[in-house]
Amino acid sequence: MNIHAIRAIYKFEMARTFRTIAQSIISPVLSTSLYFVVFGSAIGSRMTDIDGISYGAFLVPGLIMLSILTESISNASFGIYFPRFIGTIYEVLSAPVSPLEIVISYVGAAASKSLMIGSIILVTASLFVPLQIMHPFMMLLFMVLTCITFSMFGFIIGIWADSFEKLQIIPLLIITPLTFLGGSFYSIRMLPEAWQTVTLFNPVVYLVSGFRWSFYEIADVNVGVSLGMTGLFLLICTVILYWIFKTGYRLKK
């Protein structure tokens, strides 16, 4: 394995993150903190508890998930699209680097950044709302798996996109609605029964539910199913990436 290459790309990508710290880290943390202030402290105090959990605390797992989903996709898609756009991708393609090493380095960097943002938001949230984490290991597992899976998904989007518009289109038109409607702000059991069934087709529901379970032991779907669905999505992304590198789709002519 070309460890030096993985290290070099990872370090290079992370350096970009720290060079643009206001945009990369401070901005997502600030906007999520505003949710806590508005929905957690201001409006949340007038909302009834959900399954015995205050609304502010109930929001935390969903908001962290919302953040790491969007950040993972955005970081990873930009991370690979930008070299394609400016042409520097030639170097990675002509280097003694395997597809696996390319994915590990780019996806690893994007996932690390999302994990960092998720962790900062978690700490920030604890300043505004009372938090408890019943299953810290499971919480970490869900967080890491989501960061990796959605960074892989973002990497796929970054390879598929051939314009900046396309780079944004899936996160804005698909992922954001799925996240908002995936139980980030409410329990899906609060919906009419028919909509509960429809919502179960939304993969984000399983991520948010499982993640929330690791905090409060309350879940919309069984935690095993949540974990299974996360694993399934990871598998689907892996298969798509395998196909991309096997065929050279959008990378090689």
Partner 1 sequence: MSPIIEIKGLNKVYDNGFQALKDINLEIREGEIIALLGPNGAGKTTLISIICGIVNASSGTITIDGHDIVRDYRAARSLIGLVPQELATDAFESVNATISLSRGIFGKKPDQTHIDKVMKDLSLLDKKHSKIITLSGGMKRRVMIGKALSHEPRILFLDEPTAGVDVELRKDMWNVVRELRKSGVTIILTTHYIDEAEEMADRIGVINKGQIMLVEEKTVLMQKLGEKRLLLLLLEPLASLPPELSQWNLRLQDNGSTLVYTYDAQSESSDITHLLDAIDNAGIRYRDLETKQNSLEEIFVNLVKK
Q: Which positions lie near partner 1, rule CB under 8 A?
A: 2, 4-5, 7-9, 11-12, 15-16, 19, 86-88, 90-98, 248, 252-253
User: For residues 44 and 231, what is the distance between their CA atoms, to the nearest angstrom?
Assistant: 33
CB of 90 to partner 1, least distance (A): 5
Q: Pick between residue 97 and residue 122 the one whose CB is nearest to partner 1.
A: 97
Tokens of 54: 């205050």
Q: Pick between residue 26 and residue 93 the one whose CB is nearest to partner 1.
A: 93
CB of 87 to partner 1, least distance (A): 3
CB of 20 to partner 1, least distance (A): 9
CB of 70 to partner 1, least distance (A): 23
Would you list the DSSP string of 49-95? PBTTB-HHHHHHHHHHHHHHHHHHHHHHHHHHHHHHHHSTHHHHHTS
Q: Pick between residue 8 and residue 218 the one whose CB is nearest to partner 1.
A: 8
User: For residues 249 and 241, what is the distance between their CA atoms, to the nearest angstrom?
Assistant: 10
User: For residues 88 and 117, what is the distance between their CA atoms, to the nearest angstrom?
Assistant: 28
Tokens of 177: 């609605």
Q: Pick between residue 99 and residue 203 the one whose CB is nearest to partner 1.
A: 99
